């Protein structure tokens, strides 16, 4: 099966981190295609960044459909454009926030999310409510690290994240940690060992859930709101994204 892992920001080094995490867990019969958004913000840290990033993400989904992809992972913790991507795709599309939080709910009765900026924390809290996971998520914690700090080997990011995870375990009564950024994907295994609790990277979780859904023969429902977008002209430079103009 062919799973496309899309980094909706435009930082290729982050795509490399994400693709390595995806390939580390993928089954032998799974081909991982990595993609970086062709346009938009270098990191996604707010509603505006998300809205602009979704255009490049949807372009990658449309290309993926032409490339014969069986499923997709949106590798950004805000799960930007998740439902729009599901409309455009035949196979399953998973966001890393939803995948990680659902995985955490299987292995603990309460988890904490450790994310980047305070404004991103608020977006993650919205997602907790949107996914109906209020009963499982004890707290979302911000480290005030910028997303691109995670790409800087000279930054103190690893120590800051580890300390926040320890505070989450001590103060929130949580049994598991969800890492709240795609750029943290390479930290999960070491942190799990160090902290002695499940530390969940959404990229790995989303890849394994996507594989499972495909293996079960489950694709995105095309009945109701996730049906393919209605065919109509789109004007201006986004005209190629119209479902009249197949690419």
Contact set with ligand 2AL (CB under 6 A): 9, 43-45, 76-78, 115-116, 120, 147, 180-183
Tell me whether residue 100 or residue 214 sits nearer to ligand 2AL (CB atom).
100
Q: Shortest approach of ligand 2AL to residue 184 CB, angstroms?
A: 8
Q: Shortest approach of ligand 2AL to residue 29 CB, angstroms?
A: 27
Q: Shortest approach of ligand 2AL to residue 221 CB, angstroms?
A: 26
Tell me whether residue 111 or residue 214 sits nearer to ligand 2AL (CB atom).
111
Tell me whether residue 57 or residue 89 sits nearer to ligand 2AL (CB atom).
57
Q: Shortest approach of ligand 2AL to residue 165 CB, angstroms?
A: 15
Q: Shortest approach of ligand 2AL to residue 214 CB, angstroms?
A: 23
Residue with tokens 């997602």: 127
Tell me whether residue 72 or residue 77 sits nearer to ligand 2AL (CB atom).
77
Tell me whether residue 64 or residue 78 sits nearer to ligand 2AL (CB atom).
78
């Amino acid at each position: 099966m062919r799973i496309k892992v899309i980094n909706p920001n435009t930082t290729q080094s982050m795509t490399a981190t994400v693709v390595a995490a995806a390939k580390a867990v993928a089954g032998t019969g799974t081909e991982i295609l990595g993609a970086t958004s062709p346009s938009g913000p270098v990191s996604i840290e707010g509603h505006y960044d998300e809205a602009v990033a979704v255009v490049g993400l949807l372009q990658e989904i449309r290309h993926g459909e032409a490339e014969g992809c069986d499923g997709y992972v949106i590798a950004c913790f805000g799960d930007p454009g998740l439902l729009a991507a599901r409309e455009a795709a035949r196979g399953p599309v998973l966001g890393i926030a939803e995948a990680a939080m659902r995985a955490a709910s299987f292995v603990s009765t309460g988890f904490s999310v450790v994310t980047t900026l305070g404004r991103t924390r608020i977006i993650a809290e919205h997602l907790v409510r949107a996914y109906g996971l209020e009963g499982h998520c004890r707290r979302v914690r911000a480290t005030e690290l910028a997303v691109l700090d995670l790409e800087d080997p000279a930054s103190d990011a690893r120590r800051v994240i580890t300390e926040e995870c320890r505070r989450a375990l001590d103060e929130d009564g949580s049994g598991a940690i969800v890492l709240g950024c795609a750029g943290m994907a390479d930290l999960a295994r070491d942190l799990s060992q160090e902290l002695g609790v499940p530390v969940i990277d959404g990229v790995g979780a989303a890849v394994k859930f996507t594989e499972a859904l495909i293996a079960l023969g489950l694709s995105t429902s095309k009945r109701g709101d996730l049906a393919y977008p209605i065919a109509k002209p789109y004007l201006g430079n986004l005209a190629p994204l119209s479902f009249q103009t197949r690419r």
